[in-house]
């Protein structure tokens, strides 16, 4: 499954109980559409760290990185790049299947 589809699936299953909101688009803000509540962000971070074996620093925890399917995909993809300049983590090796 493509990264974006996989992320979209996780968000749909975990925050919308498998029933995507009407017209839920890849650029829609999770916050503005009420998809993520004030605590669910921790769930999302835990999933990214577990699934992709990446470590999110405090500076990463901003809506720019995590607030839509597209921004999530962009962020995760950037962390999976071999030339990612941050802390070395397993993510750079590739997607864990």
Residues that bind another protein in the complex, under the rule CB under 8 A: 13-19, 21, 31, 34-35, 37-43, 58, 61-63, 67
Which CB atom, from 78 or from 92, has the smaller least distance to another protein? 78
What letter would DSSP give residue 20? P
- Shortest reach from residue 90's CB to another protein, in Å: 21
CB of 51 to another protein, least distance (A): 12
Q: Which two tokens stand for residue 97?
A: 């299947």
Q: Least distance from C-beta 64 to another protein, angstroms?
A: 8
69-97 burial, b for 16+ CB within 10 Å, e for fewer? bebbbebbeebbeeeeeeeebebbeeeee
Q: Which is nearer to another protein, 1 or 82 (CB)?
A: 1
* Chain position carrying tokens 């990185």: 65
CA distance linking residue 38 with residue 75, whole number of Å? 20
């Amino acid at each position: 499954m493509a990264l974006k589809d996989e992320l979209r699936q996780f968000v749909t299953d975990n925050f919308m109980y498998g029933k995507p909101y009407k017209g839920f688009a890849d650029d829609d803000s999770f916050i503005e559409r009420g998809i993520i509540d004030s605590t669910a962000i921790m769930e999302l971070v835990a999933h990214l760290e577990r699934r992709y074996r990446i470590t999110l620093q405090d500076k990463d925890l901003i809506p720019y990185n995590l607030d839509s399917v597209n921004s999530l995909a962009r962020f995760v993809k950037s962390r999976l790049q071999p030339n990612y300049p941050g802390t070395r983590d397993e993510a750079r090796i590739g997607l864990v299947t």
